[in-house]
């Protein structure tokens, strides 16, 4: 427990917000009301008027009907059933009671996390096929073999997602909005309070539009929640995590964190791991010798950013820790510079950031989960990590293990070679006429065709012209 920081805050203002781990997670899931009754008295409402104002602001921000002050129910503590956590404000007496209760384990001061915003955001135009990031990870090679993320649900906690964007048509299976107080908004429709969430969602599961393809797992689906920014951020994020676990996700993409290192979210990450969820988190955009929590924890798949020249982006965070397991973060780097994806209003932008790199890896994890549906979170992580190679242009302290390779990760996870498939957008070979043009034939085939042509009787000029015209039309 970070008791010193808790005591410092208690001394300064008389109360502090904490995250308390409940020892019996099964009981927390099955008997939350009972546990809440037992420990609610340890928690407090620091200021009734402020709490009521927060509830009113939360309703207003979510577009719900306002209640008069005094009509708003103010809760002392929130129980997150799937995470097995209790969150609320305590004073010194509440701290002593929590420490003495056998139902309660670790207690941490609640951190204030924020969005890891892109360092560059510019209008973007669609290309003519898969983006450079998809090709660099070789994700399109898995598409060719039939692995597109179909049937996989990926958790996505961000600023929300624009459900009307054509690139996300059919991609959003579940959506939840958590208001400024951390309460779920009933009947909320997919929307983005910013543009960050739509962009990261598009990189995970964007569908093909016009000529462009930027979704790494273009047939995966999203369980997306609006959890940031503003209000009771910790309550909102924890509520989103609890919700995605309840929806059955196996992969969680999150591009937010607290600058520096705080152990407060370690309990939360441990709960995700216990639920067989792979946490894919951004490491931060503050440059060398910096990082963000929880992206800098030893048991998350932390992601930094690289560019198309195989250089680690200058802004990408990296740091070494005094720990025996995974002392370096991030664990790996992925495409995070000049990343094209969708933003609200049926528009597109290119952005730079570790926030853009993270959904690339979450999308790759979705492809692998489709290939091996019984794989655990640890097995998928092991395959991705084991597939990495570090180019000579990337220093180890900045890139750690390097860049994932989707084909190699598939082989490590399944123990088989990637099945032969079709190039995206082409016709099956057996359907292509033998004399079709489009690629250079081997020399022996060219020589054979020349001899065969020499033995053919000559035809009239008109007939030859027709055949030439036909060959030209096939070339087009």
| Residue 205 Cα to chain centre, angstroms | 10
Nearest-angstrom CA–CA distance, 388 and 301: 13
Block means of pLDDT (10 residues each) for the chain, 476 residues, are 80 94 66 66 84 72 60 75 93 94 91 92 88 98 98 98 97 96 93 97 95 94 96 94 97 96 92 96 98 97 98 98 97 98 96 98 98 98 98 98 98 93 41 32 37 42 38 36
Structure tokens at 74: 């103010």
Please check whether residue 451 lies inside any domain of the structure: no
Active-site pick, 108, 140, 158, 352? 158
Give pLDDT, residue 73. Answer: 55
Please check whether residue 237 lies inside any domain of the structure: yes
Annotated catalytic residue 158 = yes
Which among 414, 435, 469 is the end of a domain?
A: 414
Strands (E) in 96-191, as ranges, are 104-109, 114-115, 120-123, 153-158, 172-177
Do 100 and 145 sit in the same domain of this protein? no
Structure tokens at 339: 């990343």
C-alpha dist (Å) from residue 51 to 89, 194, 232 = 11, 26, 11
**39-70: per-residue pLDDT in tens?**
888 999 887 777 677 777 777 776 766 555 54
Query: What CATH number does the domain containing 298 carry?
Result: 3.40.50.200
Q: What domain range is 96 assigned to? A: 3-109
Which among 62, 88, 109 is the end of a domain?
A: 109
Please check whether residue 180 lies inside any domain of the structure: yes
Do 37 and 105 sit in the same domain of this protein? yes
Which among 58, 79, 109 is the end of a domain?
A: 109
Do 206 and 309 sit in the same domain of this protein? yes
Please check whether residue 169 lies inside any domain of the structure: yes
C-alpha dist (Å) from residue 309 to 132, 136, 400, 407 = 11, 10, 17, 21
Of 306, 317, 266, 307, which Cα lies nearest the Cα of 116?
317
**132-150: per-residue pLDDT in tens?**
999 999 999 999 999 999 9
Give pLDDT, residue 396. Answer: 98
Please check whether residue 355 lies inside any domain of the structure: yes
Which is it for strands 16-22 and 85-90: parallel, antiparallel or unpaired? Answer: antiparallel
Please check whether residue 428 lies inside any domain of the structure: no
Are 415 and 335 in contact by the 8 Å Cβ rule? The answer is no
Do 77 and 120 sit in the same domain of this protein? no
Please check whether residue 357 lies inside any domain of the structure: yes
Are 399 and 122 in contact by the 8 Å Cβ rule? The answer is no
Bond into 229 cis (ω within 30): yes
Nearest-angstrom CA–CA distance, 366 and 154: 7
At how many degrees (to 10) do helices 354-371 and 377-386 cross?
A: 110
Please check whether residue 159 lies inside any domain of the structure: yes
Do 379 and 357 sit in the same domain of this protein? yes
Active-site pick, 82, 156, 196, 360? 196
Count of residues in the chain: 476
Do 43 and 163 sit in the same domain of this protein? no
Are 181 and 55 in contact by the 8 Å Cβ rule? The answer is yes
Nearest-angstrom CA–CA distance, 191 and 177: 9
Sign of CA dihedral 197, 199, 202, 208: positive
Do 131 and 97 sit in the same domain of this protein? no
Nearest-angstrom CA–CA distance, 129 and 258: 36
Annotated catalytic residue 302 = no
Active-site pick, 224, 271, 355, 387? 355
Do 101 and 123 sit in the same domain of this protein? no
Give pLDDT, residue 420. Answer: 77
Q: How many domains does the chain have?
A: 2
Give pLDDT, residue 463. Answer: 39
Do 167 and 229 sit in the same domain of this protein? yes
Do 277 and 378 sit in the same domain of this protein? yes
Residues 289, 291, 295, 299, Cα dihedral to 10°:
40
Do 102 and 118 sit in the same domain of this protein? no
Give pLDDT, residue 456. Answer: 44
Do 94 and 219 sit in the same domain of this protein? no
Annotated catalytic residue 355 = yes
């Amino acid at each position: 427990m970070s008791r010193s920081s808790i005591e410092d805050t208690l001394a300064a203002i008389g109360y502090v917000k904490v995250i308390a781990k409940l020892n019996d997670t099964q009981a927390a899931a099955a008997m939350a009301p009972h546990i809440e009754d037992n420990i609610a008295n340890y928690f407090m409402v620091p200021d009734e008027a402020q709490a009521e104002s927060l509830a009113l602001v939360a309703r207003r921000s979510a577009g719900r009907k306002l209640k008069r002050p005094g009509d708003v129910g103010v809760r002392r503590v929130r129980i997150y059933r799937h995470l097995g956590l209790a969150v609320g404000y305590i004073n010194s007496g509440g701290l002593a009671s929590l420490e003495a209760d056998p139902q309660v384990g670790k207690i941490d001061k609640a951190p204030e996390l924020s969005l890891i915003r892109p360092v560059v955001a510019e209008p973007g135009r669609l290309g003519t096929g898969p983006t450079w990031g998809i090709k660099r990870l070789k994700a399109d090679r898995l598409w060719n073999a039939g692995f597109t993320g179909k049937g996989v649900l990926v958790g996505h906690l961000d600023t929300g997602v624009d459900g009307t964007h054509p690139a996300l048509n059919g991609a959003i299976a579940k959506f939840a909005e958590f208001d400024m107080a951390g309460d779920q908004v009933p009947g909320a429709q997919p929307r983005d309070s910013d543009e960050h969430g739509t962009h990261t969602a598009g990189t995970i599961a964007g569908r093909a539009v016009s000529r462009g393809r930027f979704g790494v797992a273009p047939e995966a689906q999203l369980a997306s929640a609006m959890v940031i920014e503003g209000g009771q951020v910790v309550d909102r994020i924890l509520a989103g995590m609890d919700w995605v676990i309840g929806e059955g996700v196996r992969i969680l993409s999150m591009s937010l964190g607290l600058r520096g290192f705080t152990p407060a979210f370690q309990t939360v990450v441990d709960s995700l791991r216990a639920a067989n969820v792979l946490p894919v988190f951004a490491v931060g955009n503050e440059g060398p010798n910096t990082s963000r929590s929880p992206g800098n924890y030893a048991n998350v798949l932390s992601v930094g950013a690289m560019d198309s020249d195989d250089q680690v982006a200058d802004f990408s965070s990296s740091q070494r820790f005094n720990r025996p397991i995974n002392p370096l973060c991030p664990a790996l780097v992925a495409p995070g510079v000049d990343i094209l994806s969708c933003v609200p209003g049926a528009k597109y932008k290119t952005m730079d950031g570790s926030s853009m790199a993270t959904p690339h890896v979450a999308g790759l994890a979705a492809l692998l989960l489709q290939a091996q549906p019984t794989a655990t979170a640890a097995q998928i992580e092991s395959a991705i990590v084991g597939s990495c190679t570090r180019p000579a242009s990337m220093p180890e302290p900045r890139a750690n293990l390097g860049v994932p390779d989707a084909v190699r990760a598939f082989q490590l996870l399944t123990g088989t070679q990637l099945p032969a498939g079709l190039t995206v957008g082409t016709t099956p070979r057996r359907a292509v006429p033998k004399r079709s043009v489009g690629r250079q034939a081997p020399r022996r085939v060219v020589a054979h065709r020349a001899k065969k042509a020499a033995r053919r009787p000559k035809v009239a000029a008109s007939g030859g012209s027709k055949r030439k015209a036909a060959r030209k039309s096939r070339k087009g």
